[in-house]
């Protein structure tokens, strides 16, 4: 056999081997439990498995899955009818639905059309109405279960993600995931919308402390007096020179007075030298004495004494000094020692807890990355031993799945203050500005989405990193403040490369609206396609001075961003001063350097913006 033939044969063998590995990885189905509901008796747990597109039925006595219910797409939340006869499963898809599952057979008997990416189903006390968050339509859908139709929608601020209802059914409290509005000023934070269910409209917007983002969980105390919201509290106005004492990101629980409909205060869930990154699910014990919070980044449960918490808050509200850091109520959101003596942190056995439920003295957590349900007894005097119940056979982690896990894991950060996903929730944006050190101090810039980052280099808004690969490694070094093996960075690269664009909510059944079609023509006429050609992710990957720089950034060239999924990454421009795409095209486009738009009529600007937001 000649040398060339030997090489050719060897190449074929390697190709077959690589193809086989890729095929095996493609066939591997992870479950990714994300949300749960428990029956009235506390015996059966229903688990939404996002990646598997199933709902698992878990018998808690035996710790066994007794049934797997296939649903129409990725499930994101579950509600149980008051009489236990039905499950209502929200589906996170562009053409969102609620699948209606008949119990005990576990058969999908109907699907109710909703909006884009339905999440967080909540039933009215009488079981007649179902409320869901249409996340990317920025509204709450109201479904009449008799007719099984969405009869109304209520606009809210931005990406409603979690929701709870008062016991009398009169008010819905909606946690908006991200801040809305410009971020170049003194205040930027997400809010909680309170909906009057009779009037079908928002009656109050409750602003959370400056820097509040990634609102993931909300619940109401059994006595109905207070609501509790989990979120990240970012110190985005500080340069990212360190992590100690929550310099960049802290984790918070905001408390809302339901009767007064106002923010009572926000307490930090971290310790002085140990972060509690990415708080997610929150729930109460039935007796109303204990609040439990899942920490998705640090894989643990915070167990908080509710009465002692409120007693301490009342003291500081009266002007009493309750700790070295808290002498007034305004001090509390900055006090890393406030919960000392009121809270214990319990480590779970699995990775990435998201939704939680409580049955008796046991907390159950959906451990997203280990395909398990974590279980821990919160009343044990000794340090309780956590357990994990497997929802299926254990799967070997592919490189991509490892990268996804690492991206969300605060164990990869000094003192566990944050994970990559803290600033890039769902690998997108936190809607805040950050003063990173890669281009000096004093010039904060918007968080960029990770979508297409490895295909549209250079990286960073200023293009200072030659590639996303370099940016990932520098992020570990200068944002996580750790040194990790090269294979960890490679895994994160591979995960980010698999990100796919979410279909724009501006599309109509997957197609451009009439306004967007008119805008498509204007896009070419205004010369937008010169720098944002459709042939390459709507970016030519070059840097330009388009007249948007101000202050120390005046006359600076910025990287041309991809416009794919631009609808999800507001506010716009490098410093987040443009709230809308219309502002980008008009208010902040002096001299037509950022597209020839000055001669366009207002209705044409709207059409052009609609096209861009449809990409």
pLDDT in tens, 293-327: 999 999 999 999 999 999 999 999 999 988 888 99
Average pLDDT over residues 209-213: 98
* Dihedral, 116, 432, 309, 299 alpha carbons, nearest 10: 70
Examine residue 553 and state whether it is found in any structural domain, yes or no: yes
Q: Write the DSSP assignment of 311-367 as a string of letters.
A: HHHHHHHTT---SSS-SSGGGGGG-TTTTTTTEEEEE-SSS-EEEEEEETTEEEEEE
* pLDDT for 402: 98
The number of folded domains in the chain is 2
* pLDDT for 547: 93
Query: For residues 159 and 61, what is the distance between their CA atoms, to the nearest angstrom?
Result: 37
* pLDDT for 323: 85
* pLDDT for 12: 43
Examine residue 591 and state whether it is found in any structural domain, yes or no: yes
* pLDDT for 24: 42
Residue 130 has pLDDT above 80, yes or no: yes
* pLDDT for 138: 98
Residue 16 has pLDDT above 60, yes or no: no
Average pLDDT over residues 205-231: 98
Residue 575 has pLDDT above 50, yes or no: yes
* pLDDT for 372: 98
Examine residue 113 and state whether it is found in any structural domain, yes or no: no
Examine residue 279 and state whether it is found in any structural domain, yes or no: no
Residue 452 has pLDDT above 50, yes or no: yes
CB 214 within 8 A of CB 177: yes
Residue 597 has pLDDT above 90, yes or no: yes
Average pLDDT over residues 385-395: 94
* pLDDT for 15: 42
Residue 19 has pLDDT above 90, yes or no: no
Examine residue 470 and state whether it is found in any structural domain, yes or no: no
Q: How many CB atoms lie within 10 A of CB 239?
A: 16
Examine residue 530 and state whether it is found in any structural domain, yes or no: yes
Predicted confidence band of residue 90 (pLDDT cuts 50, 70, 90): very high
Examine residue 21 and state whether it is found in any structural domain, yes or no: yes
Domain of 592 in residue numbering reads as 514-613
Examine residue 166 and state whether it is found in any structural domain, yes or no: no
What's the chain's length in residues?
615
* pLDDT for 18: 39
* pLDDT for 262: 98
Average pLDDT over residues 67-93: 97
152 φ/ψ sector (left φ>0, alpha ψ -120 to 50, else beta): beta
Name the least confident of 10-19, 181-190, 276-285, 358-367: 10-19
Predicted confidence band of residue 27 (pLDDT cuts 50, 70, 90): low
Residue 6 has pLDDT above 90, yes or no: no
Q: In the chain, pLDDT over 70 holds for what percent of residues?
A: 95
Mean pLDDT of the chain: 94
CATH number, domain with residue 556: 1.10.760.10
Q: Which residue has the higher pLDDT, 246 or 25?
A: 246
Instruction: Give the pLDDT confidence of 30-69 residue by residue, as tens digits.
Output: 999 999 999 999 999 999 999 999 999 999 999 999 999 9
Query: Could you tell me the two tokens for 579?
Result: 């709230």
Q: Which residue has the higher pLDDT, 388 or 23?
A: 388
* pLDDT for 384: 81
* Dihedral, 195, 199, 200, 204 alpha carbons, nearest 10: -30
Query: For residues 425 and 162, what is the distance between their CA atoms, to the nearest angstrom?
Result: 15
DSSP helix, strand, coil percent of the chain (3-state; round to 5): 25, 35, 45
């Amino acid at each position: 056999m000649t040398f060339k033939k030997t090489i050719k044969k060897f190449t074929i063998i390697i190709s077959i081997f690589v193809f086989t590995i890729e095929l095996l990885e493609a066939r591997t189905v992870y479950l990714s439990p994300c949300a749960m509901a428990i029956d009235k008796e506390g015996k059966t747990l229903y688990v939404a498995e996002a990646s598997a597109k199933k709902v698992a039925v878990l018998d808690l006595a035996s710790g066994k899955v007794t049934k797997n219910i296939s649903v129409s797409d990725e499930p994101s939340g579950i509600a149980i009818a008051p009489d236990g006869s039905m499950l209502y499963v929200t589906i996170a898809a562009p053409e969102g639905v609620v699948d209606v599952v008949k119990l005990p057979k576990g058969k999908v008997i109907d699907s109710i059309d909703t909006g884009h990416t339905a999440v967080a189903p909540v039933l009215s006390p009488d079981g007649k109405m179902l409320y869901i968050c249409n996340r990317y339509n920025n509204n709450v859908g109201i479904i009449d279960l008799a007719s099984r139709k969405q009869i109304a929608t209520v606009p809210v601020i931005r990406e409603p993600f979690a929701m709870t209802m008062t016991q009398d059914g009169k008010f819905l409290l909606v946690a908006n995931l991200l801040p809305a509005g410009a971020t170049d000023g003194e205040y930027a934070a997400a809010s909680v919308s309170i909906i009057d269910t009779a009037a079908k409209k928002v009656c109050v917007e409750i602003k959370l402390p400056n820097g509040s983002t990634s609102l993931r969980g909300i619940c109401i105390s059994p006595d109905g007096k207070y609501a509790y919201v989990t979120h990240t509290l970012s110190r985005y106005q500080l340069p990212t020179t360190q992590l100690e004492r929550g310099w960049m990101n802290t984790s918070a629980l905001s408390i809302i007075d339901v009767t007064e409909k106002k923010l009572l205060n926000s307490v930090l869930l971290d310790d002085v030298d140990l972060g509690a990154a990415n708080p997610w699910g929150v729930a109460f014990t039935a007796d109303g004495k204990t609040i439990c919070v899942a920490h998705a980044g640090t894989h643990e449960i915070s167990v908080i004494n509710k009465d002692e918490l409120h007693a301490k808050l009342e003291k500081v509200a009266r002007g009493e000094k309750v700790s070295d850091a808290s002498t007034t109520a305004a001090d509390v959101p900055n006090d890393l020692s406030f919960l000392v003596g009121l809270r214990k942190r319990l480590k779970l056995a699995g990775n990435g807890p998201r939704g939680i439920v409580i049955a008796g003295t046991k907390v159950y957590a959906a451990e997203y990355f280990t395909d398990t349900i974590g279980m821990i007894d919160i009343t044990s005097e000794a340090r309780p031993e956590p357990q994990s119940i497997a929802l299926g056979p254990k799967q070997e982690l592919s490189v991509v799945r490892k990268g996804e896990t690492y991206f969300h894991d605060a164990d990869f950060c000094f003192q566990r203050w944050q994970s990559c996903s803290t600033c890039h929730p769902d690998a997108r944006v936190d809607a805040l500005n950050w003063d990173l050190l890669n281009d000096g101090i004093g010039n904060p810039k918007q968080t960029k989405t990770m979508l297409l980052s490895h295909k549209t280099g250079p990286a960073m808004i200023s293009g200072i990193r030659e590639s996303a690969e370099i940016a990932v490694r520098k992020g570990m070094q200068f944002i996580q403040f750790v040194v990790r093996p090269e294979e960890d960075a490679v895994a994160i690269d591979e995960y980010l490369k698999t990100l796919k664009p979410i279909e724009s909510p501006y599309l109509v059944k997957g197609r451009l609206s009439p306004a967007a079609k008119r805008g498509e023509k204007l896009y070419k006429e205004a010369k937008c396609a010169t720098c944002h050609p459709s042939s390459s992710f709507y970016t030519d990957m070059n840097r330009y001075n388009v007249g948007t720089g101000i202050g120390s950034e005046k006359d600076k060239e910025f990287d041309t961003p991809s416009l794919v999924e631009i609808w999800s990454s507001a506010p716009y421009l490098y410093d987040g001063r443009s709230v809308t795409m219309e502002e980008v095209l008009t208010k902040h486009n002096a001299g037509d350097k950022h597209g020839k738009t000055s001669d366009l009529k207002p209705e044409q600007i709207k059409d052009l913006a609609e096209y861009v937001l449809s990409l």
